[in-house]
Homo-oligomer: A and B are copies of this chain.
C-alpha cells in the first residue's frame, strides 16, 4: 500500500526525461527522494519540476534568498522532509550558520507576532492600504 521510490532504471521515458533534466540543471548524480516518489504521477512530476525550475531561477532575487524563503515557509508549515531538503539546498547555495540562525529567528518571530495580531484583532492601518 505504501509507495516505493521509482529509480531511473525502472522509470518510463517520460519520467527519465524529467530526471535527466533535474540532473543536468542541478549538476547532480541522482535526484532526491522527492522526485522518485512524485514519479508515480508523471504529469505531476513534470509540472512540479518545470514550476520549481522556473520559480527558483535567478531573477529579481538570487537563488540563496529564494532558498531561505523556501526554508522559512517549510519550517513554518512543519514539513519534515522539506526542512531537511531545503536546509541542504540553502547550504549549497551559500547559507552560513549565522544566516541559518537568522532565518530561524525571523521565522519564529513572525509566527509569534502573526498570532498576537490575530488575537488582539488588530485592524489594518489606513497607511498600509494606500
Q: Of B2, B38, B47, B96, which contacts A51 at CB under 8 A?
A: B47
Cβ of A44 under 8 Å from chain B = yes
Q: How many copies does the complex hold?
A: 6
Q: How distant is the Cα of A69 from the Cα of B72 in the complex, in angstroms?
A: 7
The residues of B that contact A77 with a CB separation of less than 8 Å are 76, 78, 110-111, 114
23 inter-chain pairs at a CB distance below 8 angstroms, sorted by A residue, are: A2-B130, A40-B101, A41-B98, A41-B101, A44-B116, A55-B102, A61-B99, A61-B103, A68-B69, A71-B119, A73-B107, A74-B110, A76-B77, A77-B110, A77-B114, A79-B115, A80-B124, A84-B124, A85-B124, A87-B121, A87-B128, A104-B116, A111-B112
